Structure 1
C-alpha cells in the first residue's frame, strides 16, 4: 500500500467514548424535558456530528432547540464527559509501529478540536501525532469531507498517498469524496456491513491489524 500519511478518526477508532457521550446526551435530553433512551440505544450517536444526533433524537431542525441541547451536552462533556473515555487495546503499540515506519499521522475527528486535543493529551498520545484536527464549536468542518479537505490543504498531502482509518460510514464517505484509501475498523461503533456498503477498501477487526495491513508486522 503506497502511502505516507494516515488520518485516524478518534471516537470508536482510537478511544471508546461511549460512557461520556451517552451520559452527556442523556443529561441534555433530561434538562430540556425529554425522557432519554438507555445508553445502549445511543450507540449510533457515536461518530456523527452531535447536532445531527440531537436533530434525530428530538425530531427537529429548530436551531434554537438544537443549540440549547448542544450547549447542555457540552456543559457536562467539557468538564466530565470527555474523560469518561478509554483507550482501545493495542492503540499505542500500533501507533508507535506506524510512526517508526516513517508515516505522518493525524487525528481527523468531527469532534471539536478543543476537546479532541485534550483527549489525546489525556491518554499521552500527543507525540504519536503530527497534528490533531477537529471541527470548530460553531460546526465548521464537522462534516468529514470538509475536514479531510482542510487537512489535505493544510498539510499539503496527496490523496493518492493518504489513508483514512475510521469506524463509521462518515469516515468512509468523507475520505472517498477525496479519493483516499480507506480502512474501516469493526471494533468501534460501525458494523462491517456499514463500512463495506459505503466502500471501505479494507476492513480490520483490531488495531494491530492496521499495522499488519500496512505490512509493518508479521
Structure 2
C-alpha cells in the first residue's frame, strides 16, 4: 500500500460529547424534544446535514438546525473530544512503515484541521481532506474522488480506514481497499455488510496492515 486514507470521528478520536452535545443544543434551539446523548450516537459518522434533516423532519428545518449546531460546535464542541488510546503510537508506526497518510473525513475541513492540530495528530498526515461548509464533498464517495485527484494516488494501492459503512461505500466506489475499526460507532454487522475487507479490534493493529 502506497497511501492510507483515515477517517477522523470514531477512528482517530471519540467525538461523542461534542457532537451529541451540539445536537442537543440545536434541538433545544429548534424547539424539539432533546434526547439523551446516548440516543444520538447514530449521528456520528454520516454527513451531519443528513442527520439534522432526519431530526428536524424537513430540509428547511435541518438547514436551520445546522446553523445552531455550528454555533456551539465551532467554539466548544470540536474540542469536546478524546484521542483513542494508542492512536498516536499507531500512526507513528504506520507512517514509519512507508505509506503516505491522509485524513478523509466528512466533517468540514476547517474543523478537522483545528481538531488534529489541537490534539497533536496533524504532523502524521500529508494532507487533511474534509467537506466544505457549503456541503461540497460531504459524501465519502465525492470526498475520496477529490482526494485521489488532488494527490494522484493509485486507488489500487490505497486503503481507507474507518468505523462506519460510509467509509466502505466511498472506498469501494473507487477501488480503494476498505478496512473497518471496531472501537468507533459502527457495529461489526454494519461494517461487514458494507464490504470492509478486514476488521480491527484495537489501534495497535493499524501498524500491522502493511
Q: With structure 2 as the length reference, what TM-score do the two structures score?
A: 0.98
2:46 matched to 1:51?
no
Q: Aligned with 1:197: secondary structure?
A: helix
Match of 1:101 in 2: 97
1:29-86 Cα shifts (integer Å, max 9, x gaps): 00010011110011110001111001111222x33x2221001000000000000000
Match of 1:72 in 2: 68
Match of 1:111 in 2: 107
Match of 1:8 in 2: 6
Aligned length: 210
**What displacement does 1:25 show?**
0.3
Contact 2:156/2:176 (8 A) holds in 1: yes
Choose from 117, 136, 141 the match for 1:140.
Answer: 136
**What displacement does 1:183 show?**
0.6
Q: CA–CA distance in 1 between the matches of 2:206 and 2:37? A: 29
Match of 2:151 in 1: 155
Q: CA RMSD in A?
A: 0.7
Q: CA–CA distance in 1 between the matches of 2:134 and 2:35? A: 26
Q: Aligned with 1:203: secondary structure?
A: strand
1:101-154 Cα shifts (integer Å, max 9, x gaps): 111000000000000000000011121000111000010000000000000010
Choose from 28, 31, 35 the match for 1:30.
Answer: 28
Q: Aligned with 1:189: secondary structure?
A: coil
Match of 1:42 in 2: 40
Q: CA–CA distance in 2 between the matches of 1:23 and 1:84? A: 9
1:137-187 Cα shifts (integer Å, max 9, x gaps): 010000000000000010001010010000000000010001111110010
Structure 1 consecutive aligned stretches of length 4 or more whose deviation exceeds 4 Å: none
Match of 2:17 in 1: 19
Choose from 118, 126, 129 the match for 1:122.
Answer: 118
Contact 2:108/2:131 (8 A) holds in 1: yes
Q: With structure 1 as the length reference, what TM-score do the two structures score?
A: 0.95
Choose from 170, 176, 179 the match for 1:174.
Answer: 170
Structure 1 unpaired stretches of 5+: none
**What displacement does 1:213 show?**
3.0
**What displacement does 1:191 show?**
0.5
